[in-house]
Amino acid sequence: MLWFQGNSMQLAKHSFQRLLRNLSASKTALPVLTLFTKDPCPLCDEAKEVLEPYKNREVDITLPENSAWYDRYKFDIPVFHLNGQFLMMHRVDVSKLEKQLQKLEQ
């Protein structure tokens, strides 16, 4: 299933790149997007592909050191945190991500 059509993903990439340039120029710490995942997970694979331009950090919840995250998210992956705070789960909502990134930029 594709939820991005036409130029919407290109627009998201462009907006994110602009945000990164602005944050870098202002010496502000870049936001951290964390993806909680496990293998196999087709939705996680799809999310990774969509979020490639946003890629920063991924947590495999099946690793022993991440057992607390496994207990919390084993039925809800993929889950996304932005700067350590819950952002969304199951599907990528680029609009929501863009809004949160814009808030961080201000």
Q: Please report the pLDDT score of residue 18 as a whole number.
A: 58
Q: Please report the pLDDT score of residue 104 as a whole number.
A: 82
Residue with tokens 């952002």: 87
Residues whose CB is less than 8 angstroms from the CB of residue 31 and which lie 6 or more positions away in sequence, other chains included: 23, 82, 83, 100, 101, 104
Residue numbers of the chain with a pLDDT score lower than 50: 1-11, 23-25
**3 state DSSP class of 16:** helix
Structural domain contains residue 10 = no
How many domains does the chain fold into? 1
Structural domain contains residue 40 = yes
Strands of the sheet containing 33-37, edge to edge, are: 57-60, 33-37, 79-82, 85-89
Range of the domain at 37: 33-105
Residue 58 belongs to domain with CATH number: 3.40.30.10
Q: Please report the pLDDT score of residue 64 as a whole number.
A: 94
Q: Please report the pLDDT score of residue 1 as a whole number.
A: 26
Q: Please report the pLDDT score of residue 58 as a whole number.
A: 78
Structural domain contains residue 28 = no
Q: Please report the pLDDT score of residue 8 as a whole number.
A: 43
Residues whose CB is less than 8 angstroms from the CB of residue 17 and which lie 6 or more positions away in sequence, other chains included: 53
Structural domain contains residue 101 = yes
pLDDT tens-digit profile of 82-98?
888 899 999 989 899 88
Structural domain contains residue 80 = yes
Q: Please report the pLDDT score of residue 32 as a whole number.
A: 74
